[in-house]
Amino acid sequence: MLRALVCDIDGTITDRQRRVNTAAIEEIRSLVEKDIAVVLASGNTACFMDAACRLVGTNGAFIGENGGVYRREYGSELCIERERRAAEEAYRRVEAHFRERGIALELYSDRYRFTDIAFARTVSSDEVKGVLGEVPIKVVDTGFAIHLQAPGLNKGEALKKLSVEMGLSPKDFVAVGDSINDLEMIEQAGLGIAVANGHPKTKAAAFFVTEKSYGEGFVEAMERCRDLFLR
């Protein structure tokens, strides 16, 4: 039996315009009411994740910055996996390259990030990778932003550590996601599910792929595995 849920936000419990699917929120709240642990996981900042947990109605457990930070519950210490000095140096190199071409990069919530750098998808992630060459920095295109972060940081590794703090195992979790940054999380979970709009690699790693997309796909996923949760 499964004891917990970890789910992505953008593209998984939202629509294409990042509007939250209210039926998806109802599904999450029904799990919380049954004392099923729920972890929200995203590339977003810790302060965004705190607000999202409160709005959705969870107990505050989250994974942020694509696994760079995580927290067990409201009031518990924020765990920061790595400093972001290497990501900052990589960004300066990328920013200089595009500035020479007359292209200004738009940073996302930079002053609130602990482990990564995120900027708008106004340039190609492949070109960013080309600029960095052999620099040991991971370039992650989530479909909503491009992230620069240290190798080894991902939602799956964060789930392994967070689950221990929660008295659980990653195999106790159902994981639902869509993007390439959800791949390791889906691989680590006891049951990994991708919504239909997911990245091909993420869908290939999932136990099953929903027929519906975005938030409707998440609702479908919950309906299909509802009886697997420990009661």
To the query of whether residue 8 is one of the catalytic residues in this protein, the response is yes
The whole-angstrom separation of Cα 210 and Cα 189 is 17
Question: Dihedral of the CA atoms 187, 192, 198, 204 (nearest 10)?
Answer: 60
**Catalytic pick among 8, 10, 116, 172:** 8
3-class SS letters over 28-85: HHHHHHCCCEEEEECCCCHHHHHHHHHHHCCCCCEEEHHHCEEECCCCCCCEECCCCH
Residue 100, C-beta contacts closer than 8 angstroms, at least 6 positions apart: none
To 5 degrees, how large is the angle CA 94–CA 97–CA 102?
Answer: 120
As annotated, the active-site residues are 8
